[in-house]
Structure 1
Amino acid sequence: MFSPGHAGANAYARVGVETAVMGASPHRLIVLLYQGARQAIAQARMHLQQGNVAERGMAISKAIRIVESGLQSSLNLEVGGEIAARLDALYSYISRRLLEANISQSETMLVEVDRLLATLEEAWVGIAPEVARMAAQPAAESLR
C-alpha cells in the first residue's frame, strides 16, 4: 500500500518547495536557490562521511545544476556589469570545485563551497529591504 522509504515525506517536501517557489518574488527565488544548493552540499557531505558514493554523486550533481542552471543562468551580464561578471566567474569556480570535491572525495572542498554560498546568500538576504523598497516605489508612484 505504501512505497518503501520516505516517499510520503519526500512528496510532502516537494509540495512545500513548489508552493514556496510559485509564490516567491524573483529576489526570494534566488534565496531558495542558495538554500537548495547548500542543502544538496550538506547531503553530499553526509553521504561522503557514510561512504555512499552514488548518493554523494547525485547530491553534488544537484548542487552543480542549481548553481549553473539556476544562479548562474539568472545573471544578466549586459545589465549587471562588473558585479554580474564576477558572480559568473565565482559560480564557475563553485561548479568546478564541486566536481573536484566529488572526484577527490574532499569534504574540505565541500565546506569551502558551502561557505562561499553562505556568504552570497547572507549578502542577498541583506539587500531584501532595499529590494522591497524599490519594488514598492513604482506601485506608490502609479497611485499618484
Structure 2
Amino acid sequence: MNPMLALRQYQKVSGHAQTSEASPHRLVQMLMEGGLDRIAQAKGAMERKDVAGKCASISKAIGIVGGLREGLDLESRADEVGELDSLYIYMMKRLAEANVSSDPKILDEVAGLLRTVKEGWDGIAPPSPQF
C-alpha cells in the first residue's frame, strides 16, 4: 500500500486534512472505515428513497475502494495483491450495480467483503512504539 496515495485519497473523500499524525497502516484503516460508513449511509438513503443521497454515498464508497486499489503495490507480483486488486474491482462493480438497481442486498455483500478485508488488515497492525 502506498501511504501517500492512501493519505491523499482519505483527505479527498473525507474532507479531513488532519491525517499527518496517522501511520500509513492507520490511514488504510481509516479508508476502510470510511468505505463502510458510506455504504451504510447509502443503505439508509435507499430506505428513505433519497436517490441523491444514495448516489452520493455510493459514489464516495466507489472512490474509497478505488483509492484502496490504487494504493496496492501491483509490481510486487505477489498473488495476494493481484487477488485483492480483483476483489476491489469486483466491489466497485457491485457498488455501481447497487446504485442502478437500488438493491440493499448488494450493499450488504460489499460491506461484508470490505469488513473481511479490514479484519485482515487490522490483524497485521504494526506494534505500537514503546516509550
What range is the shorter-chain TM-score in?
0.7 to 0.9
Name the CA distance, whole Å, in 1 between partners of 2:77 and 2:51.
Answer: 38
Q: 1:82: Cα distance to partner?
A: 0.6
Name the CA distance, whole Å, in 2 between partners of 1:110 and 1:75.
Answer: 23
Name the CA distance, whole Å, in 2 between partners of 1:79 and 1:132.
Answer: 24
Q: Which has the larger radius of gyration?
A: 1
Tell me which residue corresponds to 2:88. Answer: 91
Q: 1:79: Cα distance to partner?
A: 1.5
Where structure 1 has 5 or more consecutive residues not aligned to the other structure, the ranges are 1-13, 137-144
Q: Give me the identity figure in percent.
A: 41
Letter in 2 for 1:27: H
Tell me which residue corresponds to 2:45. Answer: 47
Equivalent of 1:66, from 49, 64, 67?
Answer: 64
- Residues 68-103 of structure 1: CA deviation (Å, up to 9, x unaligned): 1x2000000112511110000000000000000010
Highest relative contact order (Cα 8 Å, sep 6+), 1 or 2? 2
Task: Return the structure number with greater helix share.
Answer: 1
* Structure 1 segments of 4+ aligned residues over 6 angstroms from their partners: none
CA RMSD of aligned residues (A): 1.6
So what's the TM-score if we normalise by structure 1? Answer: 0.76
